[in-house]
Amino acid sequence: MSFAVILTLTAVLVTATLLPLSRSTHWWVRDLDFPRLQIAAAGLALLAAELFLLDLAEFADEAVIAATLGCIAYQGWWIFPYTRPYPNEVKLCARDAPSDDRIRILASNVLATNRNAAGLLALVRQHQPDILITLESNAWWQSQLDVLEAEYPYTIKCPLENLYGMHVYSRLALEDSETRFLVEDDIPSMHTTVVLGSGQRVQVHFLHPTPPSPTENAESAARDVELLVVAKHVSELNCPVIVAGDLNDVAWSSTTRLFRKISGLLDPRVGRGMFNTFHADHWFMRWPLDHLFHSRHFTLSFIKRLPSYGSDHFPVLVELVYDAPAGATQEGLTADAADEKLSEERIAEESAKVLKVQRSSS
């Protein structure tokens, strides 16, 4: 492998590392937020080739190796919080936590063309979630999932054929449920108040914004603003809050980090793993697109990635425990003045109104 080839590959690595530093919302820039693990792995392979082939006595060769090391370290910085050595952001719940203070949520992007509804129903019956949230579910999926209504009588339904239908089935009571279109006229989100067995009310928001891609949105602005509109609303609440869904963004991106800073919500994956949910069929190209964030009122019982049943997303199962005293000392990301300004600018650019998500707090 000649020096020119190694130099070219190093330049590609550096470009892929530096481009996401910009605030550009173009899809081809923002999509480089996703494969940070894969880019780091490619960097390690390139580093091995450089150490074997280059002359460490030459300044130019040393510079190339240093650039590669810098890229690997920088990519690793973004994903390190989602590895086991990193401290947990969310505490584990007490072993004797009351069952009435628990909420178990199964979230799944079903893939509209997938016809293995029986596979999802089997997971529901096996894991007995309190709430099932489905994304990409259309009229056909609704016809299959409605068999759950005997056990899950509280529902919110928005069947759509545009890959953005949503359904909620709950055995816990739901109050003030609404389907809203926060930024785009055909992209719904669901907002409700869940009543735990103990009587505690929890405000819950289910989201599925569009991704930045050449086939959907050429820019990430609509996705980013939907997240920030909800984050802004949540930041003004004192009640327990959960935000979940397929956010079409990775946990470590600048957009999701900004969402966490503005909202003040916690990520139970920090210090526990990536829990990559997409793509279920390609082990070498996976990242965490399906999320659940929550306020400090909760501690974690468990989080699991469930087996595939034919969708391109793995389902995720999370059980939280309402325990405000234990959770009060938990710390997430904190917004500074620059974060607040950036959030306001992005919302203003899309003319999105925070009032669109305002609901009565519980």
* Radius of gyration in angstroms for the set of CA atoms belonging to the chain, rounded to a whole number: 21
Q: Which residue has the tokens 């997971």?
A: 123
Token digits for 75?
Answer: 């990519």
Q: What is the mean pLDDT of each run of 10 residues along the chain (362 residues)?
A: 89 96 92 97 97 89 96 98 97 95 98 98 98 98 98 98 98 97 93 98 98 91 94 95 98 96 98 98 96 98 98 98 97 96 88 52 42
Q: Are 84 and 273 in contact (CB under 8 A)?
A: yes
3-state secondary structure the chain: CCHHHHHHHHHHHHHHHHHHHCCCCEHHHHHHHCCHHHHHHHHHHHHHHHHHHCCCCCHHHHHHHHHHHHHHHHHHHHHHHHCCCCCCCCCECCCCCCHHHEEEEEEEECCCCCCCHHHHHHHHHHHCCCEEEEECCCHHHHHHHHHHHHCCCEEEEECCCCCCCEEEEECCEEEEEEEECCCCCCCCEEEEEEECCCCCEEEEEEECCCCECCCCECECHHHHHHHHHHHHHHHCCCCCEEEEEECCCCCCCHHHHHHHHHHCCECCCCCCCCCCCECCCCCCCCECCEEEEECCCEEEEEEEECCCCCCCECCEEEEEEECHHHHCCCCCCCCCHHHHHHHHHHHHHCCCCHHHHCCCCC
What backbone torsions phi and psi does residue 135 show, to the nearest 5 degrees?
-115, 150
Q: Are 189 and 207 in contact (CB under 8 A)?
A: yes
Give the pLDDT confidence score for residue 360 in this predicted structure: 45
Residues in CB range of 210: below 8 A, 6 or more apart: 164, 184, 187, 216, 217, 222, 223, 248
Give the pLDDT confidence score for residue 350 in this predicted structure: 74
Give the pLDDT confidence score for residue 55 in this predicted structure: 87
Give the pLDDT confidence score for residue 335 in this predicted structure: 97
What backbone torsions phi and psi does residue 146 show, to the nearest 5 degrees?
-65, -15
Which of 57, 25, 35, 38 minimizes the C-alpha distance to 217? 25
Give the pLDDT confidence score for residue 216 in this predicted structure: 87
CATH of the structural domain 99-357, one choice from 1.20.1180.10, 3.30.2180.10, 3.60.10.10, 3.40.50.1100: 3.60.10.10
Give the pLDDT confidence score for residue 121 in this predicted structure: 98
- Give exposure, 57-75, as e/b (b: 16+ Cβ within 10 Å): eeeebeebbebbeebbebb
Token digits for 351?
Answer: 């003319």
Spatial distance between the Cα atoms of 207 and 37, rounded to a whole number of angstroms: 25
| CA 266 vs CA 93, 269, 360: distances in Å | 15, 9, 22
Residues in CB range of 257: below 8 A, 6 or more apart: 333
Give the pLDDT confidence score for residue 356 in this predicted structure: 57
Q: Which residue has the tokens 């890229």?
A: 71
Spatial distance between the Cα atoms of 356 and 92, rounded to a whole number of angstroms: 34
Q: Which residue has the tokens 């020119």?
A: 4
